[in-house]
Amino acid sequence: MSPANPLRVVVLISGSGSNLQALIDGQKRGELPIEIVAVISNRAAVRGLLRAEQAGIPALVLDHTRYESRDAFDEALQTQIDEFHPELVVLAGFMRILTSRFARHYEGKMLNIHPSLLPKHQGLHTHQRVLEAGETEHGVTVHFVTPELDGGPPVIQARVPVLENDDAATLAARVQRQEHIIYPLAIKWFACGRLQMKSGKALLDNEPLGPQGYLTDTTQP
Ligand code: GRF
């Protein structure tokens, strides 16, 4: 994948879109051979939509409350996404549980970022749960999406220390700094053809990644 033939990416968001911004910035700096062809949010008036508009990216809202069922919403979302013919779908703070059918449709072509060292702390409120468990280490995982919630094969993890005076907000901020490094990196690998999912495993340069994916050496606050 060369800059002349960038990877077509659709980004799904529900909120602030700081990960989306990291991708936009990486693309602008010429470091990411991608084209974000659309940003879709299930919530109206969120900051991420503004970030997309400011970058000249088509930004759409598909409000899940207007659909009768999860199936109906995911079907409409799939139709909307596929109109943009993406080669990769990036979940960047998209706060929806996906139907198996939707997940399978994009298997091997959809990535998520989850704020924990998976398989620890699947689901919500990860920072608070890490603090309550008295853990000394926390982090973030990029993984391929499969029908199992936060259970697809990990691509890359970054670790951060939990400091004595941390609350959920300070810890989240430390984790997010790592998110903005490892998500663009994983997407770059995918865009360059180095990353793929095969037989349920994430492969980097044709080598299966371990159960936690590629581990970055980022233990600094
Ligand atoms: C991030 O913490 C990400 O790990 C989680 O949702 C949050 C999204 O943040 N999946 P943002 O909208 O990218 O700022």
| Residue with CA closest to ligand 1 atom 5 | 93
Q: Is the CB of 16 under 6 A from ligand 1?
A: yes
Cβ burial, residue 168 (10 Å; 0-12/13-18/19+):
middle
- What does the angle CA 138 – CA 140 – CA 141 come to, to the nearest 5 degrees? 135
> Which structure tokens are listed for 60?
């759409």
pLDDT in tens, 144-198: 999 999 999 999 999 999 999 999 999 999 999 999 999 999 999 999 999 999 9
Residues contacting residue 162 through CB under 8 Å, at least 6 positions apart: 130, 131, 135, 136, 137, 138, 171
Checking if the pLDDT of 219 tops 50, the result is no
Please answer whether residues 202 and 190 qualify as being in contact, where contact means their C-beta atoms are separated by less than 8 angstroms.
no
* Ligand 1 center–CA 166 separation, angstroms: 19
| Residue with CA closest to ligand 1 atom 7 | 93
* Ligand 1 center–CA 112 separation, angstroms: 10
Residue 127 falls in the annotated catalytic set? no
Question: Does residue 119 have a cis bond before it (omega within 30 degrees)?
Answer: yes
What is the pLDDT at residue 215? Answer: 86
Please answer whether residues 201 and 209 qualify as being in contact, where contact means their C-beta atoms are separated by less than 8 angstroms.
yes
Could you identify the atom of ligand 1 that is nearest to the CA of residue 48? 12
Q: How much of the chain, in percent, has pLDDT values that exceed 70?
A: 96
- What global pTM score does this model have? 0.96
* Ligand 1 center–CA 42 separation, angstroms: 14
> Which structure tokens are listed for 152?
């697809």
pLDDT in tens, 28-73: 999 999 999 999 999 999 999 999 999 999 999 999 999 999 999 9
